[in-house]
Structure 1
Amino acid sequence: MSQGNGWALSRIRKNLADNPCTVPCLFFRDRVLMTEHGPMSADGGKELLVLVDGGIQRGFWYGHVLKVKGQNGNGEDYWVALIVRSGQAIDAPTVPLVFERYYHHMRIRSNYSPLYADDEEDVFAVRDNFDDACLALAEMIRRFDPSKRMEREIDSMEYIKPEGRLDPRSLDVYGLCGQMDENGGFPSPPEYVYPDAGA
């Protein structure tokens, strides 16, 4: 649009802001979200989500910090920082809904891929507390290189594996098979409820 059409852009922005049915999402804008009571964290503990890469490198790359129960109910709970890749774009207009949708796509639908790692803590780290797990995730993000974390397709029949090894520990946190209903389908993802436009 030309400079003289600033009034049109202003009108568009005003109408977007005024209409309760044109709601912006948070995650792709802010990239780092935290909640005091996460749906995936043991005992409803804190959770942190990071959008590491928003679809530029063959999918969406998410960082996650959450509390995990000690093995078989024995032992101390611990904190995990991890990075996974997913084909699913996850976002919402509210922080709780972002976390609920993330839970749905990762735990209910198992829509994620474990990654390759060169170092023990490239994509997964265990810590004693939330802050230290966040620092471990920050270091993973500093070293993040998607070409070292997943197979690359050469053609439809051949793939190149990166150096390092596949780190399957995210499976222990998110599970593998998803949670289908009795008909073999998945429940619908959590929906946003628009405010009453007439209110």
Structure 2
Amino acid sequence: MAMLTSALNSNPKCHTGLLIQKKVFGVPIGPSGAAEILGLIYADDPTFGYWYAHIMEHPDKPKVFVSTIVWSTKLVNAPSTHLQFERFRYWIMDRLEYEPCLSQRDGDVYSESKSLIGAATELAMMVIEFDIKKRCGCDSKLADGSQADNRILNVYGMTGAFDENGAWAPPPMPTFLTVVKNRP
């Protein structure tokens, strides 16, 4: 194992992205134009998908922060925090790779707050109460009182960002600066 670990650590082309190293990220200005927080809260078997905790400014309600639990079949990962948020926006909002998840009560998968601190508090409670068996109906039976919370559709959209030919833009890729020496 030590030889493989050393080999992986020595090759910058082999990387697992930030989600493997750290679970929660924040940026003062994300793709939404305001502060955002993103965390991976469940990733076990791809059958169950990937579950994210996300805070962003509501696209139609200025100065209102939305806390959501987001269910996707895509593992969104990146080598930098900035790119992590760009890719999350790309796969969730542009490519619509998400589904409204099941809710048992108001506020357990979606909440709105007038402050980032309030949104973080609400999202922390959602994460504390998270139970995969109540969220996805993975065993083909729903938890009592389950229903899809469709308010997430107003945040992440339903139309996608394809061009006039129906094609998607390529996913955001890392950019690297290269030092170029002038030749004499």
Matched, 1:39 2:25: no
Q: Deviations over 1:29-81 (max 9, x none)?
A: 201000111102xxx2110001011244610001101112555xxxx521110
Which structure features the higher share of strand residues? 1
TM-score (norm 1): 0.80
Query: Equivalences for 1:101-180 in 2 at 5 Å?
Result: 101-152=87-138, 159-163=140-144, 164-180=146-162
- Aligned residue pairs total 179
Which structure 1 segments of 5+ residues have no match? 154-158
Secondary structure class of the residue paired with 1:160: coil
Equivalent in the alignment of 1:156: none
1:150 and 1:162 in contact (8 A); partners too = no
Which structure 2 segments of 5+ residues have no match? none
Alpha-carbon distance in structure 2 between the residues aligned to 1:36 and 1:88: 25
**Letter paired with 1:94:** S
**Letter paired with 1:66:** M
Percent identity over the alignment is 30
Alpha-carbon distance in structure 2 between the residues aligned to 1:70 and 1:108: 17
Query: Equivalences for 1:13-32 in 2 at 5 Å?
Result: 13=6, 15-32=7-24
Alignment RMSD, CA only? Answer: 2.4
State the 1:182 CA deviation: 1.4
State the 1:124 CA deviation: 0.3
Shift of the 69–181 alpha-carbon distance from structure 1 to 2, 3 Å rule, reads: closer
Secondary structure class of the residue paired with 2:30: coil
Secondary structure class of the residue paired with 1:152: coil
TM-score (norm 2): 0.86
State the 1:193 CA deviation: 3.6
